[in-house]
Amino acid sequence: MNIRRLVAAVALTAVTFAGSGAVDAQLPLEPKQTSGQSITPAYEGWFKNQDGSFSLLVGYYNRNQTQTLDIPIGPRNRIEPGGLDQGQPTHFLPSRQWGVFTIRVPADFGDRKLTWTIEANNQALSVPMGLHRDYEIQPFKDAAEGNTPPVVKLDPKGPAFQGPPIGIGTSRTATTASPLTLTLWASDDGKTDPGQKPTDMPLTVSWSQFRGAGAVTFSNPRPPIDKADGRATTTVTFGAAGDYVLRAQANDVSGDGGSGFQCCWTNVLVKVAVKP
């Protein structure tokens, strides 16, 4: 097995059963069903920050092919210890979602662990997350090829985002009466794995819902990127007032999840306050 995919498999299956649904929980390698299955929290690994703290990179695997689930923060969607809400999603898309949020822990975190538990369709699964040396990752640069994640800007003159999401990138306001225009600018270093060409999998961007109880509809969740300036624009409509978080993702030739290795893609979280 390719070492990159081995790392991904270990991260995905390092999970424990919790609650009454454990007996019926789907095994990691079983084929996905359309609905009624579990969601596996996936610990991707950890990396060190410049200030000496650490970030835990976390994703999930919704084993349902078509069922999207909303699970609010609480007993069925919790991270412990330290508070149930530590930035995790409440809106779960089908299939594997890589590195969708990070949890920052202090420099003296040591051998402590956090545990994320998700209960979906009466099946509860948990994953422990810590600083074990085997889980150290390099999400900002592929050590083998030197590839780096795409650079994303939400304002052409604003800050640049690259790699895993670090908190909320920016905030917007909207109403339920009018679509909100979302524009980002994306660029990439163009580096590829041996045997690949940039045209094999060009730079792409996508938008999805991360939090928010109401329906969210994008006019085009995968807007085209203007080759001249890297601009990609879409609109989003909200079905109800409330607070939402949207996720913008940029992928280069490494593809979703870096083909099983934790580099090189970029996620940015955008908070939207929606009024009636």
Convert the pLDDT of each residue in 169-191 to its tens digit: 999 999 999 999 999 999 998 87
Residues near 114 by beta carbon (within 8 Å), at least 6 away in sequence = 56, 79, 80, 81, 82, 86, 103, 105, 128, 129, 130
In terms of Cβ atoms closer than 10 Å to its own Cβ (0-12, 13-18, 19+), residue 116 is buried
Asked if pLDDT for residue 29 goes beyond 70, the answer is no
Tokens of 110: 């040591």
Domains, the chain: 3-135 (no CATH), 151-275 (2.60.40.10)
Region 145-171: mean pLDDT is 93
Q: What is the pLDDT of residue 4?
A: 46
Residues β-bridged to residue 275? 175
pLDDT tens readout for residues 235-253: 999 999 999 999 999 999 8
pLDDT at 254: 85
Average pLDDT over residues 25-44: 78
pTM, rounded to two decimals:
0.87
Contact 60, 208 (CB under 8 A): no
Q: Tell me what pLDDT residue 217 has.
A: 98
Cβ proximity of 64 and 32 under 8 Å: yes
Separation between Cα atoms, residue 276 and residue 173, nearest integer Å: 11
Residue with token string 């590829």: 192
Q: Which residues are registered as beta bridge partners of 205?
A: 250
For residues 219 and 236, is the Cβ–Cβ distance under 8 A?
yes
Position 31 scores a pLDDT of: 65
**What DSSP string runs through 251-267?**
E-TT-GGGGGSS-SEEE
Distance CA 204, CA 250 (A): 6
What would the mean pLDDT of 127-149 be, rounded to a whole number? Answer: 92
**Which pLDDT score, from 0 to 100, does residue 195 have?**
60
Residue 73 scores a pLDDT above 70? yes
Candidate from 7-11, 130-134, 256-260 with smallest mean pLDDT: 7-11
